[in-house]
Amino acid sequence: MRTVLIFLLLFASSGWRVCAEEAMPKSYDVIIVGGGIAGLTAAYYLDDFDVLLLEMQDQVGGRASSGQYKTISFARGAEYLGKPEEPLEEMIEELGLVLREVPAPADVTYHQGKFYYDELGKARLLINQSNLNTLNRFVGHLTDLYDSYDEIPELTLKGELARLDTISAKQWFTENNYPSIFHELFNVTARGLFGANLDEISALSVLPELAFDFEDFKGIENVSDLAEELSGTSGATEMYTFDNGIAAIPQALARHMADSIQTGTKVTAITKVDEEFKVTCIKDNQKQYILWADAVIIATPAPVALTIGAAVLSKEQQRLLGSVQYAPYSTVALFSNHPIFTKGFNLAIEDDQIFTDIYDSTWVASHFKENSDFTTLSHWVTLVYAPPSSFQDKTVIDLDDHELLARIYTALDMVLPGSSTKVIGHEITRYRYGLPVMVPGSYRRMIDLDKATGEGLFLAGDYLIYPTFEAAAASGQLAAEKVKEWLED
């Protein structure tokens, strides 16, 4: 034993890097921590380098992972995308993935016993509860904003945009005299998309999302133009996924870069020795070992980055990371032998319920798979999305399974009477770090984080650009570019 110890000491002092339990002399150009879409995208754009991505779970994907029930894949987190732009568009093409546009009606709104289909249906509801001029004023407001809006890091935060970053969405709706139906409807949207309510999130974070929804809406001249929309017929939805869900992208990336990805490996600390990063990991919950790299990208939620990177993050990075707050989120997959909702892909329900949306997991596949439609399916998965009513409220992850399900069934039966009796099984997924909350000031924080450097230590993740799958991918590409510059310097 003593001989082994002396041998190890000699080995270490001779400049070789040795781990505590096994020899791992390999040093990488770049180590990436986290195999969500941000980390995977970073790895994809660094394929000219010697890269290793470490993911603590058994599979990559993070908040965009899928489960399986019999023949049906269902999302546990991210469900759909807007029309993909770079870098997602490029990766989808190069990986040979077939993108599916979600068939109409993609969005259904439930309000006081009635269903309203897609954006024009929602417009009809807003007009019914207010008037046409108010709706056209609202869409005009959104269009003006969208024209001057860019994503981080391109966004120039000045004038009205800078002001909108400092006020809550609720303040914006109130100061513009929008009636209560706007607050009610868009509070559901805000909770579902951001895990926070209109009082909590900045106007600047919500309005571009709403603008995107009303992008093709040219203003309605006459309410009768909307007569047909109640039946749910319109064509393009501009919402996209794949036959097996969004997880198709992380899964394809994992196959593409299999040699550079190590799953089941949790990073516990990153330190710096001379000019190299020392990355301490635990494999399969037992074996601790050390890897080395010239540069590191941390692509985990901000609180994890703050913990594992405490010794190497700059003071400014630590200050900014410490200010990122997260909304908890739970999703529940309900399994049945009979359909629960067959009228559209995403059903948004009234506010003040335990969940805001249900998604029909079979909606896309049943439209695109040959010989497959609702009549030939025998298994069904209905996804229930349960964000908190306030991001400070942990109820949706703290409730035990029994209570969570009981509250979900009550709301479900209110909207779709008798549907809870069809459920024969379920799977619950809880996210402590569901979504980074875009509180007032978050755009300023993101701009500052983009500029803050950690000398070879880079960050990626949705909290750096916007809390979506696509933005997380963009943050990964951005981190890859910064690493290339660093290594080539």
Ligand X SMILES: Cc1cc2nc3c(=O)[nH]c(=O)nc-3n(C[C@H](O)[C@H](O)[C@H](O)COP(=O)(O)OP(=O)(O)OC[C@H]3O[C@@H](n4cnc5c(N)ncnc54)[C@H](O)[C@@H]3O)c2cc1C
Give the span between the Cα atoms of 466 and 263, in whole angstroms: 26
202 class by beta-carbon count within 10 Å (0-12 exposed, 13-18 middle, 19+ buried):
buried
Considering only 28-36, 146-154, 227-235, 414-422, which stretch makes contact with ligand X by CB under 6 A?
28-36
Question: Using CB under 6 A, which of 28, 44, 55, 377 touches ligand X?
Answer: 55
Output 117 or 385, the one with its CB closest to ligand X: 385
Considering only 9-17, 133-141, 157-165, 430-438, which stretch makes contact with ligand X by CB under 6 A?
430-438
Q: Any contact of residue 33 with ligand X (CB under 6 A)?
A: yes
DSSP SS3 for 151: coil
Q: Any contact of residue 462 with ligand X (CB under 6 A)?
A: yes
Question: Using CB under 6 A, which of 31, 43, 52, 63 touches ligand X?
Answer: 63
Longest dimension (CA), the chain: 89
Q: Any contact of residue 119 with ligand X (CB under 6 A)?
A: no
Q: Kind and range of the H or E element at 28?
A: strand 27-33
Q: Which residue in the block uniquely carries the two structure tokens 């003006």?
A: 144
Output 204 or 383, the one with its CB closest to ligand X: 383
Contact between residue 16 and residue 25 where contact means Cβ atoms under 8 Å apart: yes
Phi-psi region of 78 (alpha: psi -120 to 50; beta: other; left: phi over 0): beta
CA angle 9, 12, 16 (to 5 degrees): 150
**Binding to ligand X in span 276-335, by CB under 6 A:** 299-301, 304, 308, 329, 331
In the complex, least distance from residue 385 CB atom to ligand X, rounded to whole angstroms: 6
Q: Any contact of residue 191 with ligand X (CB under 6 A)?
A: no
Output 38 or 290, the one with its CB closest to ligand X: 38
H helices then E strands: how many in the chain? 17, 18
Output 135 or 483, the one with its CB closest to ligand X: 483
Size of the site for ligand X (CB under 6 A): 39
Sign of the dihedral through C-alpha 348, 335, 413, 418: positive
Question: Using CB under 6 A, which of 72, 73, 79, 211 touches ligand X?
Answer: 79
CA angle 59, 78, 83 (to 5 degrees): 120
Considering only 3-11, 59-67, 223-231, 477-485, which stretch makes contact with ligand X by CB under 6 A?
59-67
Output 63 or 426, the one with its CB closest to ligand X: 63
Neighbours of 252 (CB within 10 A): 18
Q: Kind and range of the H or E element at 381?
A: strand 380-386
Output 142 or 437, the one with its CB closest to ligand X: 437
Considering only 49-57, 84-92, 179-187, 313-321, which stretch makes contact with ligand X by CB under 6 A?
49-57
Q: Any contact of residue 360 with ligand X (CB under 6 A)?
A: no
Q: Any contact of residue 81 with ligand X (CB under 6 A)?
A: yes
Considering only 51-59, 107-115, 144-152, 416-424, which stretch makes contact with ligand X by CB under 6 A?
51-59
Give the span between the Cα atoms of 31 and 23, in whole angstroms: 18
Output 267 or 354, the one with its CB closest to ligand X: 267
Give the span between the Cα atoms of 331 and 241, in whole angstroms: 18
x-or-dash string of contact with ligand X, 381-420, rule CB under 6 A? ----x-----------------------------------
Residues 6+ apart with CB under 8 A from 34: 53, 54, 55, 62, 298, 299, 300, 304, 460, 461
Output 456 or 467, the one with its CB closest to ligand X: 467
Residues 6+ apart with CB under 8 A from 393: none
Binding site for ligand X (CB under 6 A): 33-39, 54-57, 62-64, 77-81, 266-267, 299-301, 304, 308, 329, 331, 385, 431, 434-435, 461-462, 467-470, 472
